[in-house]
Amino acid sequence: MKKSICLYFQVHQPTRLRLYRFFDIGKDSHYYDDYANRTILRRIAKKCYLPMNDLLLEAIESSGGAFKLAFSISGSAMEQFERYAPQVIESFRKLAETGCVEFLSETYNHSLSSLVNESEFTHQVKRHRKKLKELFGVETSAFRNTELIYSDRIGAMVREMGFQTMLTEGARHIMGWRNPNYIYSNDGNRDLNLLLRNYGLSDDIAFRFSDTGWENWPLTADTFVDWLKAAEGDVVNLFMDYETFGEHQNADCGIFDFMRALPSFVMSDPGLEFVTPSQASSKHKSVAELSVPEAISWADEERDVSAWLGNELQKDAFNKLYNLTEKLEIINDPVLWTDYGHLQESDHFYYMSTKFFSDGEIHKRFNPYDTPYEAFINYMNVLSDFIIRVDERINE
């Protein structure tokens, strides 16, 4: 049997908050930095989404359908595309029409709800499914949680929602001696297959590609295919942020040329083939159940959720936010739901991270705030206004 190569790219843009001062609380309930969101989105659309979508479409068309891959696009990103760069929606639609691209389910707002609140979690997954169907006319059967966060309990909820496949991180502390290049299943639910990210090979592209100090620099497609061939197992899962191409890794470093060359090198090898996550899951058998009692993710050295819920600031903000869910359900107002969704984006909590020393470089790169304290203050000011609005409606 051929070894499967499973590519999945994550597309997400946070809804960045404006500078929201104490003086604004109770007076102004527009929370978002529209200018920054528009400017950043358009920049990335131009540098990454549009050229990369074109490149992939060409590769699919010239492969006669043999080149396959998957996307997961957060609802927050889809909203921004609709508002600021509708041509990006159009170009994803073209990819969807080829039938070679699988779209994955996730929470609408790229949220951390799976960690605390099942009803909010399922609510967001449903909303995201509906949006995907509406924009691209696609159905989903595989699930990818925010930042590949996974635990036994989350897996069970995902299975409950009807998914057969879920993607997560091949975290070293979970895998131990086991090899991520096989299919595993949820502890207790043999019918939920887990695809585990091969972080070594994924990060060779996502992080190390442009690092001139790296021993394997410059990386070429044929070398990379040799590594894929050498990797033992049924399926090699290459999962990464889509913004890797052209945004995190600049076009100058040759990342587009690499991706243009990679598909044909893989396909010309008799032992390799591309599959989508759902195909990988049905083609290969699960070799074992995987026990993950504590949540894992694809972030930082720890591969846990400490980037979002590691310090007391993050925990307090998070608790205050999720204390509101019941009230939101009672009020059931679409405007409040929308803001509630945006406030749940994991990015807001990431900005409050104080893990400056080990993974600080990465944290800084994606952070509009100078310090985690500023991020916290700004977020809490916004949340305080939101709480006032919710309480006013409850008391009506």
Partner 1 sequence: MFGWEFPPHIAGGLGTACEGIVKGLAYNGVETLFVMPSASGDEDQSSTTIINASDVALDYMTESLSEYTDYIRFIRIGTNMVPYFDPEAFSVAVDRERLMSQKEYRVNYGQKFKFSGKYGANLMEEVARYAMVGSTIAHQRKDDFDVIHAHDWLTYLAGIAAKKVTGKPLVVHVHATSFDRSSNDNIDTRVYDIERKGMEAADKVIAVSDLTRSIVINRYGIPPEKVVTVHNAVDFSGREDTYQERGVKDKVVTFLGRITFQKGPEYFIEAAAKVLKRTSGVRFVMAGSGDMLNRSIRQVARLGISDRFHFTGFLRGADVQKMFALSDVYIMPSVSEPFGISPLEAMRSGVPSIISRQSGASEVLKYAFKVNFWDVDAMADDIYALLHYPALASFAMKEGYDEVNRMKWNNATAKMKAVYESVIK
Q: How far is the CB of 117 from partner 1 (least distance, A)?
A: 18
Alpha helices for the chain (secondary structure H): 34-44, 50-63, 75-84, 86-97, 118-136, 152-160, 172-175, 199-206, 221-230, 255-267, 277-283, 306-309, 312-322, 325-331, 334-343, 346-350, 360-365, 372-395
Q: How far is the CB of 355 from partner 1 (least distance, A)?
A: 15
Q: Which is nearer to partner 1, 209 or 376 (CB)?
A: 376
Q: Which is nearer to partner 1, 281 or 381 (CB)?
A: 381
- Binding of residue 112 to partner 1 (CB under 8 A): no
CA distances to 13, 40, 344, 375, 382 from 16, rounded to whole Å, are 9, 10, 12, 11, 12
Tokens coding 58: 């060409």
Respond yes or no: is residue 147 known to be catalytic. Answer: yes
CA 373 to the chain's CA centroid? 25
Q: Which is nearer to partner 1, 206 or 313 (CB)?
A: 313
Q: How far is the CB of 76 from partner 1 (least distance, A)?
A: 23
Contact between 198 and 170 under an 8 Å Cβ cutoff? The reply is: yes
Cα–Cα distance measured from residue 114 to residue 165, given in angstroms and rounded to the nearest whole number = 16
Out of 287, 387, 389, 393, the only residue in the binding site for partner 1 (CB under 8 A) is 387
Q: Which is nearer to partner 1, 2 or 21 (CB)?
A: 21
- Binding of residue 133 to partner 1 (CB under 8 A): no
Contact between 378 and 386 under an 8 Å Cβ cutoff? The reply is: no
Cα–Cα distance measured from residue 374 to residue 6, given in angstroms and rounded to the nearest whole number = 39
- The CA-CA-CA angle for residues 252, 253, 256, to 5°, reads 80
- What H or E segment, with its residue span, contains residue 161? none
- The CA-CA-CA angle for residues 111, 114, 116, to 5°, reads 105
- Binding of residue 356 to partner 1 (CB under 8 A): no
Q: Which is nearer to partner 1, 141 or 311 (CB)?
A: 311
Q: How far is the CB of 123 from partner 1 (least distance, A)?
A: 23
Catalytic residue among 79, 147, 247, 273: 147
Binding mask 311-330 for partner 1 (x = CB under 8 A): xxx-xxx-xx----------
CB-based burial label for 321 (10 Å; 0-12, 13-18, 19+):
buried
- Binding of residue 250 to partner 1 (CB under 8 A): no
- Binding of residue 384 to partner 1 (CB under 8 A): yes
Out of 21, 30, 173, 190, the only residue in the binding site for partner 1 (CB under 8 A) is 21
- Binding of residue 99 to partner 1 (CB under 8 A): no
Which among 100, 13, 86 has a CA at the least distance from the CA of 56?
100
CA distances to 35, 324, 340, 390 from 385, rounded to whole Å, are 21, 13, 12, 9
Q: Which is nearer to partner 1, 101 or 112 (CB)?
A: 112
Q: Which is nearer to partner 1, 80 or 367 (CB)?
A: 367
Q: Which stretch binds partner 1 (CB under 8 A): 192-200, 224-232, 243-251, 376-384?
A: 376-384
Out of 81, 209, 239, 376, the only residue in the binding site for partner 1 (CB under 8 A) is 376
Out of 22, 35, 214, 366, the only residue in the binding site for partner 1 (CB under 8 A) is 22
Site for partner 1 in 23-82 (CB under 8 A): 23-28
Judged by CB under 8 A, the number of residues near partner 1 is: 27
As annotated, the active-site residues are: 147
Residues forming the site for partner 1 (CB under 8 A)? 21-28, 311-313, 315-317, 319-320, 371, 373, 376-377, 380-381, 383-385, 387-388
